[in-house]
């Protein structure tokens, strides 16, 4: 794979030990009989799917969750042999490939099972296809909604000559990261009603994402889908405190590429939205919105030599400017996410400024930002 950006001093650093420590903290807390599956979709939430999966496996993860089939195939190609569940709906036309690669898939309709049965038979596939039935208990995304629909699917999966392995059943909670548990309880009751239609539960029964396991541990089932907390990020943002310290794994740094003295009255960047009120030292940082550093971050700040430096003018596609406290040499490190001296900028800080969640900021960091791994 060609890395675009390796000759620019701007990079994402991923602390794999932090990821291992977050997994260890969760494993020490959960029931020993409950497995932990690492959620590495979206390129490991921007951290790197293969490297994170390998670190998670070393820390004790016994399975993996992804969003799309290609992510599962990438893990298999990298030598990951543990169970891999594709959480999104995969087109049944790929059923033979899914079976061949020993991948598990989410299924939410009888039509999917019927179509996949025909396709598997037409391709003479004899390897069972692992199925996890998705139940829509209130997320409104995918899954069976009624006991009748669910019971019919289970009947199909339990037929004598079925091409499927009924491996799992699951749901996803929409508000597990909120202090008000009213809707969570509503979903939990729906879950109980639905699974009552299943006479014999499959091997894997799972409802817990990071938030559910952190704040509703009694619901865990026998698998925790450990997602955003794996990366040291609190699923609730700042609404709820995690039961243990989460260690952020990601930092983002660059170097000043240009430094100049800007005269009073001169303006900066597109639209001339910033004008110097007095003579100022301005540094240019080689990162922009094409790298996933949002254009709306004008007015936010970075750290240079442990000092807070405001982003002045609009963030450009590939560069942005910051106001320096004094003249600083070209090549000085700029911390956009992470700690410098006694100052820290978190993904949550950036998300709060942008009016979004840290998931979006992490996942939006572009591939041309090289990932550097430390352990």
Any idea which residues carry the catalytic annotation? 41, 270
Compute CA distances 122 → 102, 129, 165, 319, whole Å: 19, 15, 18, 54
H helix or E strand, kind and range, residue 344: strand 343-345
Please tell me the number of Cα atoms within 13 Å of 90 on its side-chain side: 29
How many whole angstroms separate alpha carbon 68 and alpha carbon 360?
Answer: 18
SS3 168: strand
Q: What is the DSSP letter of 108?
A: -
Give, as one character, the DSSP assignment of residue 300: -
Cα separation, 87 vs 98, whole angstroms: 13
317 is in an annotated binding site: yes
Q: List CB contacts of 231: < 8 A, sequence separation 6 or more.
A: 19, 22, 44, 45, 47, 52, 248, 249, 250, 362
Closest to 21 in 3D by CA, of 226, 221, 215: 226
141 is in an annotated binding site: yes
Annotated binding residues for substrate, as ranges?
Answer: 141, 317
Annotated binding residues, as ranges?
Answer: 141, 317
């Amino acid at each position: 794979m060609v890395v675009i950006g390796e000759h620019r001093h701007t990079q994402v650093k991923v602390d794999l030990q932090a990821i291992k420590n977050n997994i260890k903290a969760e494993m020490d807390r959960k029931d020993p009989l409950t497995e932990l599956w690492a959620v590495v979709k979206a390129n490991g939430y921007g951290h790197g799917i293969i490297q994170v999966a390998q670190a998670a496996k070393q820390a004790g993860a016994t399975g993996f969750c992804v969003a799309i089939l290609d992510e599962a195939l990438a893990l298999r190609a990298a030598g990951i042999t543990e169970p891999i569940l594709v959480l999104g709906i995969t087109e049944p036309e790929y059923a033979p490939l899914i079976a061949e690669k020993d991948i598990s898939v989410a299924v939410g309709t009888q039509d999917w099972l019927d179509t996949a049965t025909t396709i598997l038979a037409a391709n003479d596939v004899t390897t069972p296809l692992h199925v996890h039935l998705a139940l829509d208990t209130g997320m409104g995304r995918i899954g069976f909604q009624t006991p009748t629909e669910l019971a019919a699917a289970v009947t199909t999966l339990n037929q004598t000559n079925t091409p499927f392995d009924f491996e799992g059943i699951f749901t996803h909670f929409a508000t597990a990261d909120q202090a008000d548990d009213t809707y969570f309880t509503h979903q939990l009751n729906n879950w109980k009603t639905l699974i009552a239609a299943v006479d014999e539960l499959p091997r894997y029964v799972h409802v817990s994402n990071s938030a559910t396991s952190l704040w509703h541990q009694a619901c865990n089932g026998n698998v925790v889908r450990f997602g955003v907390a794996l990366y040291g990020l609190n699923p609730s943002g700042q609404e709820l405190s995690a039961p243990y310290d989460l260690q952020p794994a990601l930092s983002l740094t660059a170097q000043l590429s240009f430094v100049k003295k800007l005269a009073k009255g001169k303006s900066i960047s597109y639209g001339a939205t910033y004008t110097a009120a007095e003579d100022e030292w301005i540094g240019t940082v080689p990162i922009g919105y094409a790298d996933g550093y949002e254009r709306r971050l004008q007015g936010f700040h970075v750290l240079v030599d442990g000092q807070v430096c405001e982003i002045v003018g609009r963030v450009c596609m590939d560069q942005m400017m910051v106001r320096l406290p004094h003249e600083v040499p070209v090549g000085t490190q700029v911390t956009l996410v992470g700690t410098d001296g006694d100052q820290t900028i978190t993904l949550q800080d950036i998300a709060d400024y942008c009016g979004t969640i840290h998931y979006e900021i992490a996942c939006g960091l572009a591939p041309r930002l090289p990932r550097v791994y430390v352990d």
